[in-house]
């Protein structure tokens, strides 16, 4: 079974941030594991897995290499049809994220929502909190959202179609386009769209406004694969920048970062300290992961 989850890159604060996010959202949220990783190019690192509102996340403390920006934010849908206190929960989450955070769009009423706000938290990660229309289609709690800006502006629709072609279990959602009187955005480009890839819903938007950022590795999407054939297939379809290939990481033609990993990685990294060290040294030499080689390293063959 293929699964996809967001991965967050921190300097040293992955565990602290995960615990903070769990405290912000509460419902079906918990830290599930903390795994030390020794001898990486960044020194000793720490891998953290956690769940927010039922959505799995991964995070790593691996040095000040990548910095969060709003090109990949986390949208949280507070749906009154799912929970009667949706507005209160949204306001409480906003208040917590505001502690040391910076609003990008103030929490307010907008044409598309009775209550919405976009905020960068104390760690720099961007969140969009929205009160959804209870009369509309049910929306998942968590939707990672891609913002196509600069040279990538105007490609949100293309990206959604491409990603759905890569993953066999996928479906389109809604799409809303900019009109003729919404400069600087070009008529027909994507104001908002969403789509499902395997277990994960994603959203994509175009913005022609001037932004000083673009996609980077601070937020990536981890694809967990059962077989080497699956790893090979996704790697071939997604990787577009050979210079970015390292330790299971790749960049696609839009600049979005992905990690294509074996679903057994949790087991392989969850062994003894010596087993974990051998597996780490094995994957540090790889671009695309090779499951058989990782298994041999785990066994000490």
141-191: per-residue pLDDT in tens?
999 999 999 999 999 999 999 999 999 899 999 999 999 999 999 999 999
**Residue reference for tokens 């509102």:** 53
Residues 6+ apart with CB under 8 A from 191: 176, 177, 178, 182, 185, 205, 206
pLDDT band at 1 (very low <50, low <70, confident <90, very high): confident
Q: What's the mean per-residue pLDDT of the chain?
A: 96
Give the per-residue pLDDT at 113. Answer: 95
pLDDT per position as a tens digit, 79-109:
999 988 999 999 999 999 999 999 999 999 9
Domain ranges in the chain with CATH number 3.30.720.110:
72-206
Q: Are 62 and 48 in contact (CB under 8 A)?
A: no
For domain 3-67+216-299, the CATH architecture is 2-Layer Sandwich (3.30)
> Is residue 268 predicted with pLDDT exceeding 80?
yes
Which CATH code is given to the segment(s) 72-206?
3.30.720.110
- Does residue 26 or residue 42 have the better pLDDT? 26
Domain ranges in the chain with CATH number 3.30.720.100:
3-67+216-299
Whether the predicted model's global pTM rises above the 0.75 cut: yes
């Amino acid at each position: 079974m293929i699964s996809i989850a967001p991965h967050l890159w921190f300097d040293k604060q992955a565990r602290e941030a995960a615990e903070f996010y769990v405290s912000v959202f509460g419902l079906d949220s918990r830290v599930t594991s903390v795994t030390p990783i020794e001898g990486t190019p960044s020194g000793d690192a720490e891998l953290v897995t956690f769940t927010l509102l039922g959505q799995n996340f991964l995070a790593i403390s691996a040095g000040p290499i990548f910095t969060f920006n709003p090109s990949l934010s986390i949208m949280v849908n507070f749906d009154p049809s799912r929970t009667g206190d949706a507005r209160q929960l949204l306001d409480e989450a906003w208040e917590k994220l505001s502690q040391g955070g910076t609003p990008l769009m103030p929490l307010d009423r907008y044409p598309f929502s009775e209550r919405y706000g976009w905020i960068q938290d104390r760690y720099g990660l961007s969140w969009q909190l929205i009160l959804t229309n209870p009369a509309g289609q049910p929306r998942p709690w968590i939707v990672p959202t891609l913002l196509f800006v600069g040279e990538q502006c105007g490609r949100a629709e293309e990206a959604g179609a491409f990603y759905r072609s890569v993953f066999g279990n996928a479906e389109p959602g809604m799409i809303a386009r900019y009109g003729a009187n919404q400069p600087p955005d070009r008529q027909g480009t994507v104001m908002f769209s969403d789509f499902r890839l395997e277990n994960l819903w994603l959203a994509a938007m175009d913005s022609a406004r001037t932004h000083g950022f673009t996609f980077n590795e601070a937020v990536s999407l981890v694809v967990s694969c059962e077989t080497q054939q699956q790893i090979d297939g996704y790697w071939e379809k997604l990787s577009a920048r050979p210079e970015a290939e390292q330790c299971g990481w790749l960049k696609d033609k839009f600049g979005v970062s992905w990690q294509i990993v074996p679903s057994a990685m949790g087991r392989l990294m969850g062994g003894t300290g010596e087993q974990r060290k051998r597996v780490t040294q094995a994957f540090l030499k790889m671009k695309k992961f090779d499951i058989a080689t990782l298994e041999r390293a785990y066994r000490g063959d």
